Chains A and B, each alone.
Chain A
Amino acid sequence: GAVVSQHPSWVICKSGTSVKIECRSLDFQATTMFWYRQFPKQSLMLMATSNEGSKATYEQGVEKDKFLINHASLTLSTLTVTSAHPEDSSFYICSASLSDRGTVGYTFGSGTRLTVV
């Protein structure tokens, strides 16, 4: 149980276009989801925290107008990278807190590899 499905698993887009990444909690409701990015050989850096029905909270240095997060339902959160540039190429991972299930821990999506050309 507690599966988060993330799509797409990889995407290549042209510079200047926008890309949407979806994360769905399949068998539980996720009030809170987190979005991370990970560069090669580096750790997961938290980008933002999204709460269902409210605006996301962005970490310092993350451009909220560039990385649009929507958490319109308890089972779906989306990250849209707007006007993507090659420096946005990275591995993006979503995570859902399991606290709604009364469980400590977090479950992660399988990640999206974004390449901007």
Chain B
Amino acid sequence: QKEVEQDPGPLSVPEGAIVSLNCTYSNSAFQYFMWYRQYSRKGPELLMYTYSSGNKEDGRFTAQVDKSSKYISLFIRDSQPSDSATYLCAMSAGMGGKLIFGQGTELSVKP
């Protein structure tokens, strides 16, 4: 069993839709949870991070962490074609510790 599981998709939605991306994990030591966006053959860029359980909102993006269920989510509201990319969840046990990634979900937002 992988430490972090993420549905690879691909996921295709119409412009304006709400997108839900999810990851599950098995290591209860994870405390820091992040979402990265990666365009084709570029380095990942950090979208959001959350420490421990809870919700965090930044513009059209909302991250949720449920440690009791070992489940994290990223919601994208009013999705745009420019949101088309691969979204990777990632988590670590400590600040600055090694980061474990999910497989990534390929998202396509159609105009």
Which A positions have Cβ atoms within 8 angstroms of B? Answer: 4, 6, 32, 34, 36, 41-46, 49, 91, 93, 95, 97-100, 104-111, 113
Contacts and interface: CB of A to CB of B under 8 A. Distances in A.
A64 B102 CA distance: 24
A108 B98 contact: no
Interface of B: 6, 8, 32, 34, 36, 41-46, 49, 51, 88, 95-104, 106
B34 A105 contact: yes
Contact of B103 (A4, A42, A93, A109): A42
20 contacts: A6-B43, A36-B101, A43-B102, A43-B103, A44-B88, A44-B101, A91-B41, A93-B44, A95-B43, A95-B99, A97-B95, A97-B96, A99-B95, A99-B96, A104-B95, A105-B46, A106-B46, A106-B99, A108-B43, A111-B43
